[in-house]
């Protein structure tokens, strides 16, 4: 179960996680840690002999503004190091070179000339000049630049405005680039990272999801022994994959609790039960708590208050179920583990030492703090995995693709898609309208890519607006509700563009909703990007 590993030190760039994803795509295991870990920590991390290389990330800051440096141990272990952007600058400065500040920033597409046939770039190019120089199409984003290389380094890449756009000391296996190989705009970026981790570091490419199941199953069995586990199943990707994996490991020692808060999508509850109880034969307790949730939401229209009520009730219901299960199993100890679908980005974000002074735009519905309240130990079998790996794992575990590649759905469910006060009548109308929209997105195939518009969008849904508008149907006047369709494209959900859906698709969806869902007589399309709008309306 021991993998070779790459350490990625995070200096605070927005795209550090992408480095890790590219490394994992090369089937090499890696971990992201904050740049201010100590040298002792690094040595300890390397003590098992599995650490094959280090990557220093970029940063939004200048080496003159902050004093973040790589721990000295990084340069004492005798293993390869790759510096990216800020990582290159700090490497240069720490090893005796010079970095100069600049008022102007180079930002965006650049063509870089490769020099010196270094092992990192050898044979990797996008095109070559008539003089035979290999050229790379890259993404640059920097203000400062290295003006003098440390001893032992030679130029590896350059542009007219950044003569030292890459440098290498091949004897020590230190490489650095001013551009960002981790972003897809750098066309050969994945090839460069692949070259670094596999050929230069010599890390073995043994990080494969199909094999990972066996490893994870063994680990879960060892951790759980013959104790019992409960898991809150929401129907979302993470909790579903966690449930399937744990069930594979320990079968009936797992009990899933599925809380139906009355704010789920059309037929969602039945689908979850059918999959987990029907097909996987897992133990699932379905709790119909819709009256409780909808009752507590009467008269509440403020979004944050709604979110808090839903979050609190969820915890209450879950706790009550957990103690019921314990009572029903008199004689046995009841569950001693609570399983959660925490994934690696959550781990990186909560462990990040860089001060994240973000304001709370929306309080997220999650079950933080629940294990302590319940006196349970935590089981988080997905904590090493990125979302795309979780999906791959789900498919490998036999979950249907359609479930595993579903768009994200917020914890408070339709509660934040019904503006203002939530009523059952509204939720019922919204569920039907939304199901039509999703069905049309799945059916509408884009000719250029051969993909459905469901797959071409990152998230799509319908929002219920509690206002009435006048319409005409047949010979009669209608005075009914309005819905908004929302579809966005995004890679990280931090920023998002509204999707340019085909007019034909919008037309068909709107026609079907108005004809099939009595009570809605107007459909609008949301053309707001994030920022300044958010993806959900509340």
Q: Would you put residue 96 in left (φ > 0), alpha (ψ -120 to 50) or beta?
A: left
Which residue stretch of 37-45, 248-256, 423-431, 529-537 sits at the interface with ligand XMP (rule: CB under 6 A)?
Answer: 529-537
Cis peptide before 203 (omega within 30 of 0): no
Q: Would you put residue 491 in left (φ > 0), alpha (ψ -120 to 50) or beta?
A: alpha
Give the nearest distance from C-beta 175 to ligand XMP in angstroms: 36
Q: How far is CA 295 from CA 242, 262, 289, 290, 382, in A?
A: 31, 11, 10, 8, 35
Give the nearest distance from C-beta 361 to ligand XMP in angstroms: 6
Q: Say whether residue 415 binds ligand XMP (CB under 6 A).
A: no
The residue among 145 and 417 lying less far from ligand XMP, judged by its C-beta, is: 417
E-strand stretches of 182-326:
228-233, 254-260, 283-288
CA distance 430 to 267: 13
CA distance 86 to 35: 12
Spell out the residues 6+ positions from residue 468 whose beta carbon is closer than 8 angstroms to its own.
Answer: 479, 480, 481, 482
Nearest to 63 by CA among 102, 99, 106: 99
Q: Say whether residue 14 binds ligand XMP (CB under 6 A).
A: no
Give the nearest distance from C-beta 296 to ligand XMP in angstroms: 17
The residue among 290 and 534 lying less far from ligand XMP, judged by its C-beta, is: 534
E-strand stretches of 234-391:
254-260, 283-288, 335-339, 377-379
36 annotated to bind ligand: no
Give the nearest distance from C-beta 535 to ligand XMP in angstroms: 3
- Residues designated as active site: 85, 180, 182
83 annotated to bind ligand: no
Q: What b/e string do you get for 409-429 counting C-beta neighbours within 10 Å, with b at 16 or more?
A: bbbbbbbbbbbbebeeebbeb
Nearest to 460 by CA among 487, 500, 496: 487
- Residue 339 forms beta bridges with which residues? 231, 379
- Whether the CB-CB separation of 276 and 284 falls below 8 Å is answered with yes
Which residue stretch of 125-133, 211-219, 409-417, 449-457 sits at the interface with ligand XMP (rule: CB under 6 A)?
Answer: 409-417
Per CB under 6 A, contacts with ligand XMP among 357-386 are 362, 364-365
- Whether the CB-CB separation of 87 and 55 falls below 8 Å is answered with yes
528 annotated to bind ligand: no
237 annotated to bind ligand: yes
Give the nearest distance from C-beta 320 to ligand XMP in angstroms: 22
Which residue stretch of 32-40, 157-165, 209-217, 405-413 sits at the interface with ligand XMP (rule: CB under 6 A)?
Answer: 405-413
- Largest Cα–Cα distance in the chain? 86
Which residue stretch of 91-99, 193-201, 249-257, 407-415 sits at the interface with ligand XMP (rule: CB under 6 A)?
Answer: 407-415
Give the nearest distance from C-beta 213 to ligand XMP in angstroms: 25
Number of residues that bind ligand XMP (CB under 6 A): 13
The residue among 389 and 538 lying less far from ligand XMP, judged by its C-beta, is: 538
Among 101, 123, 351, 408, binds ligand XMP (CB under 6 A): 408
Give the nearest distance from C-beta 420 to ligand XMP in angstroms: 16
The residue among 270 and 304 lying less far from ligand XMP, judged by its C-beta, is: 304
Per CB under 6 A, contacts with ligand XMP among 482-521 are 493
CA distance 221 to 447: 47
Give the nearest distance from C-beta 439 to ligand XMP in angstroms: 20
Q: What b/e string do you get for 376-399 counting C-beta neighbours within 10 Å, with b at 16 or more?
A: beebbbbebbbeebbbbbbbbbeb
Which residue stretch of 114-122, 384-392, 467-475, 528-536 sits at the interface with ligand XMP (rule: CB under 6 A)?
Answer: 528-536
Among 410, 417, 498, 509, binds ligand XMP (CB under 6 A): 410
Q: Say whether residue 25 binds ligand XMP (CB under 6 A).
A: no
Residue 279 DSSP class: I
Q: Helix axis angle, 387-396 relative to 237-250, nearest 10°? A: 50
The residue among 193 and 310 lying less far from ligand XMP, judged by its C-beta, is: 310
Spell out the residues 6+ positions from residue 510 whose beta carbon is closer than 8 angstroms to its own.
Answer: 485, 523
58 annotated to bind ligand: no
Among 37, 343, 397, 535, binds ligand XMP (CB under 6 A): 535
Which residue stretch of 65-73, 182-190, 500-508, 530-538 sits at the interface with ligand XMP (rule: CB under 6 A)?
Answer: 530-538
- Whether the CB-CB separation of 265 and 414 falls below 8 Å is answered with yes
Give the nearest distance from C-beta 50 to ligand XMP in angstroms: 34
102 annotated to bind ligand: no
Q: Say whether residue 531 binds ligand XMP (CB under 6 A).
A: no
The residue among 163 and 408 lying less far from ligand XMP, judged by its C-beta, is: 408
Q: Say whether residue 317 binds ligand XMP (CB under 6 A).
A: no
The residue among 175 and 453 lying less far from ligand XMP, judged by its C-beta, is: 453
The residue among 119 and 362 lying less far from ligand XMP, judged by its C-beta, is: 362
- Give the per-residue contact string, 333-362, with ligand XMP (x = CB under 6 A; - = no): -----------------------------x
CA distance 178 to 86: 8
Which residue stretch of 82-90, 95-103, 406-414, 439-447 sits at the interface with ligand XMP (rule: CB under 6 A)?
Answer: 406-414
Determine the 3-state secondary structure of 429 from DSSP. helix
**Helix, strand, coil content of the chain in percent (nearest 5):** 35, 25, 40
235 annotated to bind ligand: yes
CA distance 16 to 288: 42
Per CB under 6 A, contacts with ligand XMP among 424-483 are 459
Residue 375 DSSP class: T
User: Binding-site residues for ATP, please?
Assistant: 234-240
User: Binding-site residues, please?
Assistant: 234-240
Q: Which residues bind ligand XMP (CB under 6 A)?
A: 362, 364-365, 408, 410-412, 459, 493, 530, 534-536
């Amino acid at each position: 179960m021991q993998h070779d590993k790459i350490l990625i030190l995070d200096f605070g760039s927005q795209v550090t996680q992408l480095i890790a994803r590219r490394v994992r795509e090369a089937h090499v295991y890696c971990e992201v840690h904050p740049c201010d870990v100590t040298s002792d920590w690094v040595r300890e991390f390397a003590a098992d002999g599995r650490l094959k290389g280090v990557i220093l990330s970029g940063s939004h800051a200048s080496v003159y503004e902050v004093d973040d440096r790589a721990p000295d141990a990084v340069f004492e272990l005798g293993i390869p190091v790759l510096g990216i952007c800020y990582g290159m600058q700090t490497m240069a400065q720490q090893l005796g070179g010079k970095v100069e500040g600049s008022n102007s920033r180079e930002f965006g597409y650049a063509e870089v000339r490769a020099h010196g046939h270094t092992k990192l770039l050898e044979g990797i190019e996008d095109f070559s000049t008539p003089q035979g120089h290999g050229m790379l199409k890259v993404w640059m984003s920097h203000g400062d630049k290295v003006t003098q290389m440390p001893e032992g380094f030679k130029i590896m890449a350059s542009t007219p405005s950044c003569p030292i756009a890459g440098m290498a000391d091949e004897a020590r296996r230190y490489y650095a680039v001013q551009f960002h190989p981790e972003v897809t705009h750098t066309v050969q970026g994945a090839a460069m990272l692949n070259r670094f981790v596999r050929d230069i570091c010599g890390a073995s490419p043994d990080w494969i999801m199909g094999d990972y199941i066996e490893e994870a199953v063994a680990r879960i069995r060892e951790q759980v022994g013959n104790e019992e586990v409960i898991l809150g199943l929401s129907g979302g990707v993470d909790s579903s994959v966690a449930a399937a994996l744990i069930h594979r490991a320990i079968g009936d020692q797992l009990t899933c609790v599925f809380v139906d808060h009355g704010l789920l999508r059309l037929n969602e509850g039945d689908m979850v039960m059918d999959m987990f109880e029907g097909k996987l034969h897992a133990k699932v307790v379905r709790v119909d708590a819709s009256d409780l949730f909808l009752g507590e939401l009467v008269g509440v229209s403020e979004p944050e208050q709604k979110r808090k009520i839903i979050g609190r009730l969820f915890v209450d219901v879950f706790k009550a179920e957990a103690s019921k299960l314990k009572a029903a199993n008199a004689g046995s100890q009841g569950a001693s583990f609570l399983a959660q679908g925490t994934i690696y980005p959550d781990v990186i974000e909560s462990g990040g030492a860089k001060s994240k002074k973000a304001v709370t735009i929306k309080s997220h519905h999650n079950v933080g703090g629940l294990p302590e309240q319940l006196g349970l130990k935590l089981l988080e079998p997905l904590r090493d995995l990125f979302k795309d790996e979780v999906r791959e794992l789900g498919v490998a575990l036999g979950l249907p693709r359609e479930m595993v590649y579903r768009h994200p759905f917020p914890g408070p469910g339709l509660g934040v898609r019904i503006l203002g006060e939530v009523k059952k009548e509204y939720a019922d109308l919204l569920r039907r309208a939304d199901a039509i929209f999703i069905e049309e997105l799945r059916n509408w195939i884009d000719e250029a890519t051969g993909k459905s518009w469901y797959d071409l969008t990152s998230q799509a849904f319908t929002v219920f607006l509690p206002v009435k508008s006048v319409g005409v149907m047949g010979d009669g006047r209608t005075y009914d509700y309005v819905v908004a369709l929302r579809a966005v494209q995004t890679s990280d959900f931090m920023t998002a563009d509204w999707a340019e859906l085909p007019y034909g698709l919008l037309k068909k969806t709107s026609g079907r909703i108005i004809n099939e869902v009595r009570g809605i007589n107007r459909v609008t399309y949301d053309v707001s990007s994030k920022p300044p709008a958010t993806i959900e309306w509340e």
